[in-house]
């Protein structure tokens, strides 16, 4: 296992990070098995674990907390805040009011006194970024978190946050966590260069393209609907024209993997860690078998010929599908920001 420094924090993390999204009701509800998977990952040299408060409505954090009970000092622990998972007003977002409450709940579920990396799960344009950076800086001063970052922030929001931190003397986002894979390369245009320029660590998620690069999703073959496909069946329906490009790309990428004697998921994992801006790639196994397959990829290095072939299939900076289905910028969702009032047209 290789290790890299996390965004100028001085904290060393493994290039492969164990994602805990599939631990709990959404993925694997067997707590004991999930704990065994976490322990196996740690035994293989992974020292970085990422979860979020909304994964299985807090159950993922609870499982991770149980697993790390006697191994907390050996692990860099990351979690996130933003999305609602209980009913009621003011129980989501990036406000001081919610973050102050949410971090205490996460600490309790995780069974720890501190969080190494606390991340803002998505932008919140109803909250001034200054408000968010202020409370996060206070949490660092209070010793509840060691550093903070953002997740799936576009380049313009990252730059705005950086300048607010600089102007107001707050701590700054040390990391960003965007989706990135051989089939979703849009962040190569501006997000990754911006993070690199600002010295931010990058933890990428969805390296298997929501399961399309798992090797189990193939053209003209039966689809396993017990895993990712059950969460969002429309993404996999071969009858939908929008999915045709995904299936075509998979078949070509399988040929690349076969040509170098590896598997498609191993190729996918190795591809992500090749980019110089990427610190660690998050993989979220649901079973021990899936973990073992991902660990194997940690030692794989891709040569330029292989990377050139991947570039031919999915050109740099392009997306075969929209990688982040959980959030859209307000500039697109708010009609008033895209259309002048009738009286002004």
- pLDDT value for 229: 59
Residue from 55, 170, 180, 205 carrying the catalytic annotation: 55
Residue 176: which H helix or E strand, with range? strand 175-177
- pLDDT value for 343: 80
- pLDDT value for 55: 97
- pLDDT value for 224: 65
> How would you class 138 by CB atoms within 10 Å of its CB: exposed for 0-12, middle for 13-18, buried for 19 or more?
middle
- Pairwise CA distance, residues 341 & 329, whole Å: 20
Phi, then psi, of 9 in degrees rounded to 5: -85, -15
> How would you class 233 by CB atoms within 10 Å of its CB: exposed for 0-12, middle for 13-18, buried for 19 or more?
exposed
- pLDDT value for 206: 95
> How would you class 72 by CB atoms within 10 Å of its CB: exposed for 0-12, middle for 13-18, buried for 19 or more?
middle
- pLDDT value for 228: 60
- Pairwise CA distance, residues 249 & 212, whole Å: 10
pLDDT digits (tens, 9 = 90+) for 26-65: 999 999 999 999 999 999 999 999 999 999 999 999 999 9
Residue in 182, 204, 196, 198 with CA at minimum distance from that of residue 277 = 196
| pTM, rounded to two decimals | 0.93
- pLDDT value for 122: 97
Residue 118 designated active-site: no
- Pairwise CA distance, residues 175 & 160, whole Å: 14
- Pairwise CA distance, residues 203 & 42, whole Å: 18
Residue 284 CB partners (closer than 8 Å, separation 6+): 18, 19, 20, 21, 22, 27, 205
- pLDDT value for 317: 97
- Pairwise CA distance, residues 260 & 104, whole Å: 48
- pLDDT value for 238: 83
Phi, then psi, of 180 in degrees rounded to 5: -160, 130
Q: Count Cβ atoms below 10 Å from residue 201 Cβ, excluding itself.
A: 25
Residue in 163, 82, 173, 95 with CA at minimum distance from that of residue 127 = 95
- pLDDT value for 226: 55
pLDDT beneath 70, residues of the chain: 224-231
């Amino acid at each position: 296992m290789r290790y890299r420094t996390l965004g100028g924090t001085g904290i060393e993390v493994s290039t492969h990070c164990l994602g805990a999204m599939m631990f709990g009701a959404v993925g694997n509800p067997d707590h004991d098995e999930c704990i065994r998977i976490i322990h196996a990952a740690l035994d293989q040299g992974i020292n970085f674990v990422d979860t979020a408060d909304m994964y299985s409505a807090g159950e993922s954090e609870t499982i991770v907390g149980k697993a790390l009970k006697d191994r907390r000092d050996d692990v860099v622990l990351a979690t996130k805040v933003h999305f609602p998972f209980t009913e009621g007003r003011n129980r989501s977002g990036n406000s001081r009011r919610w973050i102050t409450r949410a971090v205490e709940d996460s600490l309790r579920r995780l069974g720890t006194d501190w969080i190494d990396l606390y991340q803002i799960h998505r932008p919140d344009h109803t909250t001034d970024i200054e408000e968010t950076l202020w409370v996060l800086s206070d949490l660092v001063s209070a010793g509840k978190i060691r550093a903070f970052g953002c997740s799936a922030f576009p380049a313009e929001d990252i730059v705005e946050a950086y300048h607010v931190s600089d102007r107001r003397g707050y701590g700054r986002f040390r990391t960003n966590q965007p989706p990135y894979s051989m089939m979703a390369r849009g962040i190569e245009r501006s997000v990754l260069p911006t993070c690199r320029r600002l010295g931010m660590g990058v933890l990428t998620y969805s390296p298997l393209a929501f399961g399309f690069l798992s090797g189990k999703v193939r053209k003209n073959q039966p689809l396993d609907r017990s895993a990712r496909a059950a969460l969002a069946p429309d993404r996999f329906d071969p009858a939908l024209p929008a999915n045709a490009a995904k299936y075509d790309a998979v078949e070509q990428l399988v040929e690349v993997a076969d040509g170098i004697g590896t598997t498609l998921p191993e190729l996918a994992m190795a591809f992500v860690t090749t980019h110089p801006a990427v610190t660690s790639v998050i993989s979220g196994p649901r079973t021990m078998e899936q973990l073992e397959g991902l660990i194997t990829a940690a030692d794989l290095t891709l040569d330029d010929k292989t990377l050139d072939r991947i570039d031919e299939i999915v050109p740099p900076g392009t997306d075969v599908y929209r990688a982040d289905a959980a959030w859209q910028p307000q500039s697109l969702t708010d009609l008033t920001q895209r259309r002048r009032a009738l009286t002004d047209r």
